[in-house]
Amino acid sequence: MVAPAVALAAASAASRRSWRRLFRWRAPGSRAPCRPVCTARGLPGGNEYDLLVIGGGSGGLACAKEAADFGKKVAIMDYVVPSPRGTSWGLGGTCVNVGCIPKKLMHQAALLGGALEDAHHYGWDVAPSAPHNWQQMATAVQNHIKSLNWGHRVQLQERNVKYFNIHGSFVDDHTVRGFTKAGKETLVTADHIVLATGGRPRYPEDVEGAKEYGITSDDLFWLKKSPGKTLVVGASYVSLECAGFLTGFGLDTTVMMRSIPLRGFDQQMALLVTDYMESHGTKFLKYCTMRKLEKFEDQRLQVTWHNHEVGREETGVFDTVMWAVGRVPETRHLNLEKVGVTLHPDSQKILVSASEATSVAHIYAIGDITESSQHLRCTSYCHCGVSCGSHSRPGVTSQGGW
Ligand SMILES: Cc1cc2nc3c(=O)[nH]c(=O)nc-3n(C[C@H](O)[C@H](O)[C@H](O)COP(=O)(O)OP(=O)(O)OC[C@H]3O[C@@H](n4cnc5c(N)ncnc54)[C@H](O)[C@@H]3O)c2cc1C
């Protein structure tokens, strides 16, 4: 195990180095003034915090904690807008609450079912197929998540990071306003601001009943009762992972895909994945696109889709329909136009340099909300790293033509 240990140590050192680069704080006079008036704090009169992080997910929490460890005065804002179904959760973002963590726990639950079936062949005196109890598993998973939410709050407190449970948006380039659940307004000012607001699942715009009757991965992990016979729409990794563990629980599970599975991944591997899933009981509706969702009185859903292979409309009845058709970056509510942070014209993600700098000096972005500007054509890119004037970068057009 020496090699992994060395790799881990190296990765950790590299990560600390890159954080140091990100937080190479400006000493007074150490750099040409970046604005007409530029104090040690970047603003006349100074700001309340050295750093404000918007978004308390994997990226935002790591950033806030590291900056506090460097002795900086740090605040973090995190607020979860409930899903259309009304599901919400605590501090920790997607991975902890509705992503990697519950996904892996449910995957493990499904694998245990498979192991139970195999066990008696290996001499274990256990019943081969016991029914799976969703409620029991979900309660355990949800309690574990709540303990992680609490753990993150404690870790912030231990580092004196101020936590605001508010939905932030820019008032000006150093001031962010948010409202608590009870509607109380809070203004926070900071020298540096890191945007780490992640993304949320996308709902299709053109499918009748999509939002009213469908759920997404934001809801699945918090369901109190089993989703039953499920149609998962999309062929993303989120779709296939969820369909995989649902099948593992013995639920009748179908994946509907428009074209190829796992677009952007190695297609030889992607087909191995779908073949394996099919051989383990997941059904696939290939070359199909959704038309509408209707609800029967008994709460089951009638689904209509177009099968492009045979050229006709088809229908089916399911207990649950889950959309896994991509994610939307959470840039819409930040009032970024006000401060001039440049977005990718198509993805609407924030364009960042290799050092996670946005188009505005002192504002950075990390995690799922970002798109590397290196993929765009660059005519004249400023490499100052932190600040250079008002930072509407030379060569950057409003169309994002870098
Ligand atoms: C089902 C699923 C499974 C996944 N599995 C894996 C996996 O196995 N491995 C892996 O590496 N990745 C996995 N991912 C991806 C991973 O979860 C994300 O890449 C990661 O969580 C992104 O972190 P982030 O900090 O960028 O954003 P997030 O974790 O999404 O955090 C953003 C936070 O900001 C908050 N926020 C948004 N706007 C505002 C605002 N205006 N004011 C205040 N707060 C705001 C949000 O509510 C959220 O809490 C999975 C994702 C999903 C959906």
Q: From the centroid of its chain, how far is CA 246?
A: 21
Which atom of ligand 1 is nearest the CA belonging to 169?
Answer: 41
Same domain, 19 and 37: yes
Q: How far apart are CA 308 and CA 298, in angstroms?
A: 30
Same domain, 261 and 169: no
Q: How far apart are CA 290 and CA 350, in angstroms?
A: 31
pLDDT (tens digit, 9 = 90+) per residue, 182-222? 788 999 999 999 999 999 999 999 999 999 999 999 999 99
Ligand 1 centroid from CA 274, angstroms = 26
pLDDT (tens digit, 9 = 90+) per residue, 272-296? 999 999 999 999 999 999 999 999 9
- Is residue 164 within 6 Å of ligand 1 at its C-beta? no
Q: Pinpoint the alpha helices (H) of 159-266.
A: 210-213, 217-220, 237-248
Same domain, 354 and 305: no
Above 60 in pLDDT, residue 337? yes
Same domain, 249 and 339: no
Q: Decide which of 386 and 231 is more confident.
A: 231
Element (H, E) at 253: strand 253-257
Same domain, 182 and 80: yes
pLDDT (tens digit, 9 = 90+) per residue, 341-396? 999 999 999 999 999 999 999 999 999 999 997 655 433 333 332 222 222 332 22
Same domain, 72 and 158: yes
Q: Decide which of 142 and 395 is more confident.
A: 142
pLDDT given for residue 378 in this prediction: 38
Q: Token pair of 8, please?
A: 């881990």
Q: Which domain holds residue 234?
A: 203-325
Same domain, 321 and 340: no
Q: How many domains does the chain fold into?
A: 2
Tell me phi and psi for residue 328, to 5 degrees.
-105, 130
Which atom of ligand 1 is nearest the CA belonging to 77?
Answer: 43
Which of 325, 346, 376 is the endpoint of a domain? 325
Band of the pLDDT at 46, cuts 50, 70, 90? confident
- Is residue 78 within 6 Å of ligand 1 at its C-beta? yes
Tell me phi and psi for residue 343, to 5 degrees.
-105, 155
Q: How far apart are CA 86 and CA 64, in angstroms?
A: 28
What is this structure's pTM?
0.84
35 closest CA partner among 173, 169, 193? 173
β-bridge partners, 136: none
Which atom of ligand 1 is nearest the CA belonging to 81?
Answer: 47
Which of 300, 325, 350 is the endpoint of a domain? 325
Which of 279, 306, 325 is the endpoint of a domain? 325
- Is residue 68 within 6 Å of ligand 1 at its C-beta? no
Closest residue by Cα to atom 11, ligand 1, is 100
Same domain, 146 and 254: no
Q: How far apart are CA 369 and CA 352, in angstroms?
A: 10
Does the residue 402 lie in any domain?
no
Ligand 1 centroid from CA 93, angstroms = 5
CATH number at residue 59: 3.50.50.60
Above 60 in pLDDT, residue 10? no
Choose which residue among 100, 106, 223, 369 to substitute to test ligand 1 binding: the one with the highest number of ligand atoms within 8 A of its C-beta.
Answer: 100
Ligand 1 centroid from CA 238, angstroms = 13
Same domain, 236 and 305: yes
pLDDT given for residue 22 in this prediction: 45
Q: How far apart are CA 270 and CA 347, in angstroms?
A: 24
Strand, coil or helix: what is 70? coil
Element (H, E) at 250: none
